[in-house]
């Protein structure tokens, strides 16, 4: 059974959830559905700063958000 780790975008709570199919996941703490799977894309709201080179400090000379080759 697939258990995924999520982070809530609203209250930054980390939690694990069994997910079946396209079931919606909501935060057990604040019931927000703005949650992100930890293994895929991180949300930037309410969480710690993303890794260096992403988001606001993203590279301007290429379209990637994380580049290590062009500077």
Residues that bind Zn ion (CB under 5 A): 8, 10-11, 13, 27, 29-30, 32
- Shortest distance, position 28 Cβ to Zn ion, whole Å: 8
Q: Which is nearer to Zn ion, 23 or 60 (CB)?
A: 23
Q: Which is nearer to Zn ion, 15 or 59 (CB)?
A: 15
Contact 8, 31 (CB under 8 A): no
Q: Which is nearer to Zn ion, 10 or 67 (CB)?
A: 10
Torsions phi, psi for 56 (to 5 deg): -65, -25
Contact 25, 19 (CB under 8 A): yes
- Shortest distance, position 6 Cβ to Zn ion, whole Å: 9
SS3 57: helix
């Amino acid at each position: 059974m697939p258990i995924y780790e999520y982070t809530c975008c609203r209250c930054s709570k980390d939690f694990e959830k069994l997910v079946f199919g396209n079931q919606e996941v909501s935060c057990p703490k604040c019931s927000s559905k703005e949650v992100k799977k930890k293994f895929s894309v991180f949300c930037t709201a309410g969480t710690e700063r993303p890794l260096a080179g992403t988001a606001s400090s993203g590279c301007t000379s290429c379209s990637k958000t994380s580049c290590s080759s062009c500077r």
